[in-house]
Copies of this chain bind each other. A is one copy, B any other.
């Protein structure tokens, strides 16, 4: 089941740079595990922003929440969730 997710990251100004670097490294590792499993199907950087737009392919709302709330950056992100469906005009049987 597909979801469109936008994440905007706002690190606190007084966070020590080592802490920030550690959290970002954990985030990247966790992201890549999810990307390899196919759950985090697409990710793009928004030009000029510390933000991404992603497509998740998960079993249900519960799994989506479990993944998002486990992100190391979760406490420092604003997250926007939009439920998606396959589009009826699409010619690609596998457009996910």
Could you tell me the distance between the alpha carbons of A75 and B49 in the complex, rounded to whole angstroms?
A: 10
Which parts of A50-65 form the interface with B (CB within 8 Å)? Answer: 50, 52-53, 55, 60-62, 64-65
| Copies of this protein, total | 10
Interface residues of A in 15-58 (CB under 8 A from B): 27-28, 31-32, 35-36, 42-50, 52-53, 55
The interface size of chain A toward B, counting residues with CB under 8 Å, comes to: 48
Query: Could you tell me the distance between the alpha carbons of A5 and B49 in the complex, rounded to whole angstroms?
Result: 12
Structural contact, B81 and A43, CB atoms closer than 8 A? no
A79 neighbours in B (Cβ, 8 Å): 48-49
Q: Cβ of B5 and Cβ of A43 under 8 Å apart? A: no
- A27 nearest CB neighbor, chain B only: B89
